[in-house]
Amino acid sequence: MHLAELPRGQRGVITQITGQGAFRRRLLELGLLPGTVVERAGQAPLGDPLSFRIRGAVISLRRRDAATVEIEPSNG
């Protein structure tokens, strides 16, 4: 499952970042590391960008960028 598919209010654990180069490095710098729990917080009125809670911060990602982050759904 991709981060962009995570329903609002649900959590997942990052398993892999499929982006490449400087883009991948930027996602890692934002804290999107494998094993990190992320929660979908919401989205902009037109559906893009999406917002996520990660490590106590809220970040926004474009839907196409969030699709490069693979997650496993989590209950906790």
Please give the average per-residue pLDDT across 3-10, as a whole number: 92
* Residues in contact with 67: Cβ distance below 8 Å, sequence separation at least 6, in sequence order: 2, 3, 4, 5
Peptide bond into 49 cis (omega under 30): yes
Both tokens of residue 63?
């839907």
What are the extents of the domains in the chain?
A: 3-74
Please give the average per-residue pLDDT across 47-60, as a whole number: 91
pLDDT top residue among 5 and 19: 5
CATH topology of domain 3-74: SH3 type barrels. (2.30.30)
Q: How far is Cα 37 from Cα 54, in angstroms, rounded to an integer?
A: 7
What digits encode the pLDDT tens for the residues 18-52? 878 898 999 888 889 999 999 999 888 887 899 99
